Amino acid sequence: MRRAGRALRVDGAAWVVLSVSACLAGVAVTAACARLGEPPSATPLALYLDWQPARGLSEPWRLWTCAWVHGSIAHLLANVAGAAVLAFVGWRARLAPAAALAWLLAWPGTQLLMAAIGSPRLAAVMPHYFGLSGVLHAGAVVLGLSLARPRAHAHTHALEPPRRERWIGLAIVAGTLVKVALEAPWTLAPHADETLGIAVAPVAHACGIGAGLLAWAALGLVLRRAS
């Protein structure tokens, strides 16, 4: 039992490390942009890191770095709060490293799915995209599925979690789906949010859900075949 407990603690740590790393990178980039004396998302650094649909996949680093750019301090704080919730729930659930890996894969996958929509269409309504929100939606789906289907990555789990956690997982997935559906992501156009001081992009949230689902399912399939 002692060995199992240690394994579970290590499992939870992988998820937390990814959450914290994303937040720290976002804070660092936002702080660097703030020193330039311009709106955070309009600085040369931000424009070098954000994702621009018109560029397609010609500058692949943007698939990762766009999540570190934020349009305002309120935007950053909202994303940090969301990441903190995911980190806490994932740590309490002792998610396996496979869940953290799926979330990591879904990070660029979110932007890849947006690119698949069509660069000209998306660029016309959203020339720039930045922030952690799409990645956080991917993380929420990976978290929920990992709780609802604990045996999907079977050989990475030492113990069967309580049934209560499965219901929590289903509630997380269902709640995320309903929330994004109410945002009408199929319109593609961002929605102005005065509280955050930015335009929120529901299409990124929907693509985050898709990327999280695909990464979680694909990794589970690979692990099952390898076992």
| pLDDT value of residue 156 | 44
| pLDDT value of residue 2 | 43
Q: What is the pLDDT of residues 13-27, one digit of tens each?
A: 999 999 999 999 999
Residues in the chain predicted with pLDDT less than 70, given as ranges, are 1-10, 37, 151-162
- Domain span at residue 172 reads 2-226
Say how many domains are in the chain: 1
| pLDDT value of residue 95 | 92
| pLDDT value of residue 3 | 47
The whole-angstrom separation of Cα 179 and Cα 75 is: 18
| pLDDT value of residue 12 | 86
| pLDDT value of residue 204 | 97
| pLDDT value of residue 161 | 57
- CATH number assigned to the domain comprising residue 45: 1.20.1540.10
Q: What is the pLDDT of residues 153-166, one digit of tens each?
A: 554 444 555 678 88
| pLDDT value of residue 173 | 97
- Give me the helices (H) in 35-162, please: 44-49, 62-65, 73-93, 97-117, 119-125, 133-148
Phi-psi group of 94: left, alpha or beta (phi > 0 → left; psi -120 to 50 → alpha; rest → beta): left
Nearest-5° Cα angle at 107, 102 to 111: 135
**C-alpha dihedral (17, 22, 28, 32), degrees to nearest 10:** 170
Is the pTM higher than 0.85? Answer: yes
